[in-house]
Structure 1
């Protein structure tokens, strides 16, 4: 009598260079208690020196390995059918000078973008007309409007991105985090198709 085992594969994981990847690292397993303790320790891949930055572990490979050791098990895959393994090789600590240079470039670029936008929409003349409408006086630099507007612009950007350095204001992800998450999801799906050795072997046959 076959024993059902349910495996839910993670979409992606990060691992160190030349590490051993076990089934418990890339999936959650449930079913018979006997297999819940044995299957997580089963080795599914050993990262070799010639492996590049990404390795795709296909669900079909997992089923083959499980059935070769436990023929009486009925494997049910849940969720994604591949796991994208990102291999983190030895990273150098980023240079403080490089980080400072990038920060200055981004700051200047953002400032130029904001100034050019304000110039295109004639923000200065709008504020002058607003000052004239409220006070009846013409003034070249209505600072009582311009200063709060500038402060509000900065505060609005901080609230929009929901970050002040490492501090978050609430649990809601920022638009930048959502875009990065969507990009990572698309990248993992692309890699799962293009770098999947099982799919390549099926295409060759």
Structure 2
């Protein structure tokens, strides 16, 4: 009987604190029916309080566990060689006063950034010149242009970020989501390199 087990490690999984990490949690498995039931339930790691937020489980750890329990199987690994286990700690609710303070701070900060940008590029003078070109009259505050322009900025931001509150307009990721994804990829790469002690070893040469 073919005793080959094919593994494809998941990139990142989330488990509760003090969970027992089984192979089925962190890997996709293809194997003969009698074997897959056994290997799926094999305990790979026990999460403890010392693990803090994340644990990196690499392929060598998994192979050693499989070989310990099933000496005769052949293991074929496909794809990633590490899985990041995120420990899903209970999130504390943000106090309404703190939420309101942060919201007001961000609102004022973004408003000042927009106003400073428009001041740098002399947007008011541009509107005045456009208004003069269209009407032949001088107006220091051409609301005819400024009001639609202000509304357009808000609508443009909604379209750009592809969100209005929790509603999405289409399935395309927004630029903010892409940046968050890239940031998460960088964090995962850092964790894989430095949280896994087997990846960084120092040898003293004598």
TM-score of Structure 1 vs Structure 2, range by shorter chain: over 0.9
The residue number in structure 2 matching 1:65 is 65
Alignment of 1:10 onto 2:10: yes
What's the TM-score once normalised by structure 2's chain length? 0.93
Q: Is the 8 A contact 1:2 1:72 kept in 2?
A: no
Q: Is the 8 A contact 1:56 1:197 kept in 2?
A: no
Provide the aligned C-alpha RMSD in A: 1.6
Q: Is the 8 A contact 1:10 1:80 kept in 2?
A: yes
The residue number in structure 2 matching 1:94 is 94
> Structure 2: which 5+ residue stretches go unaligned?
none
Alignment of 1:171 onto 2:164: no
- In 2, the alpha carbon distance for the partners of 1:157 and 1:149 equals 12
- In 2, the alpha carbon distance for the partners of 1:119 and 1:60 equals 59
Number of matched residues? Answer: 204
- In 1, the alpha carbon distance for the partners of 2:146 and 2:9 equals 54
What's the TM-score once normalised by structure 1's chain length? 0.94
**SS of aligned partner of 1:83:** strand
The alpha-carbon distance between structure 1 residues 129 and 114, as it changes in their structure 2 partners (threshold 3 A), is same
Deviates more, 1:47-56 or 1:119-128: 47-56
- In 2, the alpha carbon distance for the partners of 1:120 and 1:21 equals 56
Q: Is the 8 A contact 1:131 1:139 kept in 2?
A: yes
The residue number in structure 1 matching 2:23 is 23
Q: Is the 8 A contact 2:127 2:145 kept in 1?
A: yes
Which stretches of structure 1, 4 residues or more, deviate above 6 A after TM superposition?
none
